Amino acid sequence: MRIPFVDLQAQYRSIQREIDDAMAAVIRDAAFIGTRENKYVRRFEEQFAGFLGAAHCIACANGTDAIELMLESIGVREGDEVIVPAHSWISTSEAVTAVRATPVFVDTLPGVFTIDPERIAERVTARTRAIIPVHLYGLPAEMDEILLVARRFGLRVLEDCAQAHGGTYRGRAVGTMGDAASFSFFPGKNLGAYGDAGAVVTGDAEIAERIRLVSNHGQVRKNVHACEGRNSRMDGLQAAVLLAKLPHLSQWTEQRIEHAQYYSSALADLPLQLPVVPQHSRHVFHIYSVLHDARERIGAELQQQDIATAVHYPNALPFLPPYAAGGQRGDYPFASATCRRQLSLPLYPEMTQEIQDTVIGALRRSLGATVKARA
Ligand SMILES: *Cc1c(COP(=O)(O)O)cnc(C)c1O
């Protein structure tokens, strides 16, 4: 049995009629482009804002643009610094560079992988404008402490929620705690479109209006340009897919959590570091991440049995070529150790117990061999 890392085809089969009908309607209406008048895009914005309990949602082309649009909307520009975790997907820091500001990296917390709030203060300078916490793998960052440091230094907080749709921190939805929040609907994300798509949510009407303007060529209405903007709109087809999928998200999230719990109980006796979920957080398991020194060997052995795994990510951001040359201070011990030891197991809502048992069996054999070889 070949086991993929995620199975988007299984999800499509489970809701095929809804998706096909939704896409056919957009094509019939020729509602392809997410201009202000596109009813599919506007309806998705309303429903996603409602799902989170946020005042405003502005759809855009992808999750990376969403971060860039947030930064632009609060006036981050050349010469400014923005604090980001040392361990994330490159979009988080790339968006900072895209507005000509400088990403400043902060190490992550051991075990939970999100930014260490206690290390933020030491990286704040007179140029620091904002912090971008990332709810990595689906686990909310430690927002109360982050918001406290932000208040102390007068910084904005922009949440990167690309991996955490539906997560909660002390009962609050991820995406509603900072000044604004970005989401990605890349197909493999917990809520995924059938192509690139993203959104910003915010409680701040000014941020919302600025992003609405900038993401659509600065147009107030047809041929009236209040400013120069750009083209970062969500396609009508993507909005229709997301509208069809949104009502299923809560159930899919429950299934992810159940599968994660099943892995964690079946792997508890192995010499693997398993995901830690603080009492106050709802982890939505975009990624089920384990740590082990021999992750390369384990991944290769699983691959030989047709079981896909992944690494998120093999290098901490400060050590990627575009940043390494800048001579970032510090050595980011926890982010580095994570990147060296991290392995992501297959996890998706439609996964059966039989599939999970196959993964678990292969992992147990792989680790049993290690124990024997060492004895
Ligand atoms: C996926 C992702 C993004 C960017 O999303 P795209 O839609 O692919 O541009 C940003 N941040 C994180 C942490 C992500 O995982």
Tell me what the mean pLDDT of segment 261-285 comes to.
97
Distance from Cα 184 to the centre of ligand 1, integer Å: 5
Nearest to 195 by CA among 13, 19, 18: 19
- Which atom belonging to ligand 1 lies closest to the Cα atom of 189? 1
- Distance of alpha carbon 33 from alpha carbon 212, whole angstroms: 14
The reported pTM is 0.96
- Distance of alpha carbon 13 from alpha carbon 131, whole angstroms: 40
Write out pLDDT tens, residues 251-267: 999 999 999 999 999 99
Distance from Cα 354 to the centre of ligand 1, integer Å: 31
Tell me what the mean pLDDT of segment 185-204 comes to.
98
Task: Give nearest CA residue, ligand 1 atom 6.
Answer: 63
Write out pLDDT tens, residues 295-341: 999 999 999 999 999 999 999 999 999 998 655 556 899 999 999 99
Task: Check pocket membership of 134 for ligand 1, CB cut-off 6 A.
Answer: yes
Task: Check pocket membership of 199 for ligand 1, CB cut-off 6 A.
Answer: no
- Which atom belonging to ligand 1 lies closest to the Cα atom of 91? 10
DSSP 196-258: --EEEEES-HHHHHHHHHHTBTTEEETTEESS---B----HHHHHHHHHHGGGHHHHHHHHHH
Tell me what the mean pLDDT of segment 66-85 comes to.
98
- Distance of alpha carbon 342 from alpha carbon 365, whole angstroms: 19
Contacts of 155 (CB under 8 A, 6+ apart): 83, 124, 128, 129, 130, 131, 149
Write out pLDDT tens, residues 3-13: 999 999 999 99
